[in-house]
Amino acid sequence: MAEIAVLHNTLDFHGGADAVCLAVCDALQDSHAVSLITCSVTSPSTLADRFDIDLDTDELSIVTPPGGTLFARALAGAAPIIGSQLPFRSAVLRQFFLQITNEYDIAVSTANEFSLPLPSVQYIHYPQFRANTNERRTIDDHVQMKSNSHGQYDVDMSSSSESNSTLQETGIESAEQTAPTSQAQFKKKTEQDKPDLDDRLEDVEYDNPDNNTAGNSGYLNQIWTRLAAPEDGMSVSNSTQTAPATFLANSTWTAAVIANRYNIDPVVCHPPVDPIYGGRSWDEREDGVVVVGRLAPDKRPLDAISIVDAVRSQGHDLHLHIVGTAPDAYRDYAATVTTKAADRSYVSVEEDIPRSRLETLLCTHKYGLNLKPREHFGLSVAEYVAAGMVAFAPASGGQVDVLDRQNNRLFDSFEDAVMKIDTAIMTDERPQLPRNRFNRDRFDASIISHVEEMLSQ
């Protein structure tokens, strides 16, 4: 039995990265002693229930730096002004961890890349450092997929439909040049008049590592990079500055971004999403859309309301459920979403609901919708698929993996989203993807294999 440190900068944003963190802890608990090193206000047990992860929190050792909880509370309160500061949190966590590394045999980071003095497995949702290097190139949203080639990235995936693809790089300097990161770029007005929504908050993306307003790039990121980032030119399982590391990515898109930024080829290991089964047949499901995610600007729930407005104007009796958490950093924004929803009898907002209620919504409605462009993976989209829904998402980021590059499910504008949902309703399109393509057993086996391989070196 090995002593394993799982590094995770914060659980306080209640997102897919946090679900991966707890899933990793759960996968390793049976064979090893696991400690979670974090600066968080949120309890792991709270999120384990929300994400339906059977984690033994009594056996999980939580290690927090002195003053770590106060530190987390302060950053959460300031997030609407200074951004998520995820690279800063990671740099602080690493400095603390360096003082106790001799207590552990191996580290597993579930909060992106680090330079570490002990063997490690590092799960990268999106690279947090080197956001401003001159040689950096990022990946176009509308990335070209070679359907019959798989020479660039290894994929820990049982589904053959995804293992025969690769990404073509583009030479753009910044993802902001192509990603629709504002309402003006993302929305195309349809011919129908839509209610005038207050879009001011929609321009902010607190959790986008490339957004200067988020405090995650610029001069400060250069400082955090010098303090905590791994070196350039590493290969999987080759040495970092002081110890071997294996790098994993949550999607082929993220893997390509990592390759551009660090000149390494990570292994793709999609996050775990088990099938969600309910008792209703397709014809018995409600003609409604479910949007799941943080009530935060980067998730764009106000866009969801606008899209449903536009689809209804085509004559469809469609309703909308917006479901999510509202961490302290986003309370004001969540109130804005709730106010806008209250103006419409066909829109409801449900915060912090139990897992059972979420699964009921997913299994009793036909359509799932995600609005965040360049989503690094898209856990909510994967849950829509797992629940047997017809899922729609922007044609960018890891969501292309999740929806298996289906053109009729991926949209590149507001107008395109409205059109594809309208078409799906009119033609009664049914789900086409298997529910179990991202099952938890596959993820657990991959994580355990990489950890055991590192321990054996």
Question: pLDDT tens digit string along 417-455?
Answer: 999 999 999 999 999 999 999 999 999 999 999 999 999
Domains and CATH numbers, the chain: 3-134+212-272+440-456 (3.40.50.2000), 282-427 (3.40.50.2000)
pLDDT above 90 (res 199): no
pLDDT above 60 (res 269): yes
SS3 347: strand
Q: What is the pTM of this model?
A: 0.80
The radius of gyration computed from the CA coordinates of the chain, to the nearest angstrom, equals 21
Specify burial of residue 175 (Cβ count, 10 A radius: 0-12, 13-18, 19+). Answer: buried
Q: Angle between the 301-312 and 414-426 helix axes, to the nearest 10 degrees?
A: 50
Of 138, 111, 374, 378, residue with least CA distance to 262: 138
The pLDDT of residue 307: 98
Identify the weakest region by mean pLDDT among 241-245, 292-296, 313-317, 366-370: 241-245
Identify the weakest region by mean pLDDT among 92-96, 160-164, 192-196, 265-269: 160-164
Query: What residues contact 175, with CB distance under 8 A and at least 6 apart?
Result: 138, 139, 141, 210, 374
The pLDDT of residue 209: 35
pLDDT above 70 (res 157): no
* Residue bearing the bigger pLDDT, 127 or 79: 127
* Residue-wise pLDDT tens digits, 92-118: 999 999 999 999 999 999 999 999 999
Q: What dihedral do alpha carbons 411, 414, 13, 88 form, nearest 10°?
A: 90
User: Are 398 and 162 spatial neighbours (Cβ–Cβ below 8 Å)?
Assistant: no
* Residue bearing the bigger pLDDT, 285 or 148: 285
pLDDT above 90 (res 399): yes
Quickly state the pLDDT bin for 302 (edges 50, 70, 90): very high
Mean pLDDT along residues 39-50: 92
